[in-house]
């Protein structure tokens, strides 16, 4: 893949795909790691005399309501603080207003376009990599730089689509990710993975590809609940029960590698209980790992030479369910292994608990998992 240094951006209009899909809590950006991560590429383009059009998605946009909640304007305000020169915002994702604003740019100026997924209100054009939209966006610039690492596992109009119609290269953030993730692409063993979180559908598919590459896969969150749910009642807990057969197959093929919780912390009618995994009732909502599980997981983490964490052990944002996420992060950061974490919420939780000692922090969630599992990225036309 070409890198930003391999193309001549001077005097060009450059479309830069960033990943500004930040977590917003109480109207504030919870972690600006992803914005900060894009600054080297943006500054390089400014300093090399390009006009910069930045595109990014933010959240999912299925309704007009979603659009209101997921405006990139909040990111624009942060960008203005971080960059010296002129930064303008276009609330239009296509049409004359956007085009006029682009025409008004001087070399070294930056335009941030509103959430690319506003085009999903129009027949899911962005997420379905619509041909017309891809061509239209590509027509706004001369060169395409992709620096949205967290989207490298998806073929959308604003990454793969544009790359089909313009000379394209990766930015410094993706380059840094490729270098940093080498720790887990070529791991020292034992190589153990902790995987938790909520995006059950997205992650289940990847698990089968990760299992051959790691020694132990420790599970938490909705992923663990989904596996447990193939055998026991998980009540109201977050889980996926559409892939039971596949999960049971994995449990039998990788008996030794898949490590499931033995106890869970549940919420039931406003009260909290610790339950063994075979004792949950219909009203239980498992929101964290239990103490016996944490002790087993910590021992495995301690014995690792390479460890990777994605997602969170529990619903750490909810009072009373912070322990699992905090203790797993602490165990990893204080281990002697090479330590890599990745994922929007994995990073947000590490910041929330002020745990920062890792060898590499990958900004991708699904993208990181997919890259480790497949050893390549799908986001650009080769």
Q: Per CB under 5 A, does 344 bind Mg ion?
A: yes
Residues 268-297 interacting with ligand ADP (rule: CB under 6 A): 286-287
Pick between residue 163 and residue 225 the one whose CB is nearest to ligand ADP. 225
Per CB under 6 A, does 365 bind ligand ADP?
yes
Q: Are 242 and 205 in contact (CB under 8 A)?
A: no
221 touches ligand ADP by CB under 6 A: yes
Parallel, antiparallel or unpaired: strands 338-342 and 306-310: parallel
Among 343, 361, 367, 373, binds ligand ADP (CB under 6 A): 343
Q: Which residue in the shown chain puts its C-beta closest to Mg ion?
A: 345
- Residue (134 or 325) nearer to ligand ADP, CB: 325
Query: Does 222 engage in binding with Mg ion (CB under 5 A)?
Result: no
Which of 141, 180, 187, 222 contacts ligand ADP by CB under 6 A?
222
Q: What's CA 227's distance to the chain center, in Å?
A: 22
Nearest distance, CB of residue 107 and ligand ADP, angstroms: 37
134 versus 350: smaller Cβ distance to ligand ADP: 350
Residues 238-267 that bind ligand ADP (CB under 6 A): 238
**Angle, helices 172-180/33-47, rounded to nearest 10 degrees:** 130
Does 314 interact with ligand ADP (rule: CB under 6 A)? yes
How far apart are alpha carbons 176 and 169 in whole angstroms? 14
Distance CA 74, CA 224 (A): 34
Strands 110-113 vs 87-90: parallel, antiparallel or unpaired: parallel
Beta carbon of residue 1, minimum distance to ligand ADP (angstroms, whole number): 24
Residue 312 interacts with which of Mg ion, ligand ADP, none, CB < 5 to 8 Å by class: ligand ADP
Q: CA-CA distance, 218 to 297, in Å (whole number)?
A: 7
Long-range contacts of 92-99 (CB under 8 A, 24+ apart): 93/118, 93/119, 94/119, 94/133, 94/136, 94/137, 98/140, 99/140
Pairwise CA distance, residues 288 & 143, whole Å: 46
Kindly identify the residues of this chain, within the stretch 177-206, that bind ligand ADP according to CB under 6 A. 196-199
Footprint of Mg ion (CB under 5 A): 344-345
């Amino acid at each position: 893949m070409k890198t930003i240094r391999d193309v001549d951006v001077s005097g060009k209009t450059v479309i830069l795909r960033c990943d500004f899909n930040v977590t917003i809590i109480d109207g504030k950006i919870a972690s600006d790691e992803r914005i900060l991560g894009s600054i080297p590429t943006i500054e390089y383009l400014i300093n090399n005399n390009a006009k910069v059009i930045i595109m990014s998605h933010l959240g999912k946009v299925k309704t007009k309501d979603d659009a209101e909640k997921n405006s990139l304007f909040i990111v624009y305000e942060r960008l203005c603080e971080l960059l010296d020169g002129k930064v303008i915002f276009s609330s239009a994702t296509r049409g004359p207003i956007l085009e006029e604003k682009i025409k008004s740019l001087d070399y070294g100026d930056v335009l941030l376009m509103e959430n690319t997924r506003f085009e999903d209100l129009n027949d899911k054009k962005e997420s379905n990599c619509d041909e017309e939209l891809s061509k239209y966006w590509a027509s706004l610039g001369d060169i395409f730089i992709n620096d949205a690492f967290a989207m490298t596992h998806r073929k959308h109009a604003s990454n793969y689509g544009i790359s089909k119609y313009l000379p394209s290269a990766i930015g410094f953030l993706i380059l840094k990710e490729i270098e940093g993730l080498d720790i887990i692409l070529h791991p020292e063993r034992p190589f153990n993975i902790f995987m938790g979180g909520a995006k059950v559908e997205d992650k289940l598919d990847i698990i089968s590809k990760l299992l051959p590459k790691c020694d132990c896969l420790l599970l938490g969150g909705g992923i663990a609940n989904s596996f447990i749910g193939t055998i026991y009642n998980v009540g109201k807990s977050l889980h996926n029960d559409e892939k039971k057969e596949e999960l049971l197959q994995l449990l039998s093929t990788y008996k030794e590698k898949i490590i499931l919780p033995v106890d869970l912390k549940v919420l039931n009618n406003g009260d909290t209980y610790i339950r063994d995994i075979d004792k949950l009732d219909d009203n239980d909502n498992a929101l964290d790992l239990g103490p016996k599980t944490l002790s087993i997981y910590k021992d495995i983490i301690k014995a690792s030479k390479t460890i990777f964490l994605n997602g969170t052990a529990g619903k750490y944002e909810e009072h009373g369910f912070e322990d699992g996420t905090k203790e797993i992060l602490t165990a990893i950061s204080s281990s002697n292994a090479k330590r890599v974490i990745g994922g929007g919420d994995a990073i947000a939780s590490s910041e929330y608990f002020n745990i920062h000692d890792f060898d590499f922090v990958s900004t991708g969630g699904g993208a990181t998992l997919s890259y480790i599992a497949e050893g390549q990225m799908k986001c650009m036309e080769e």
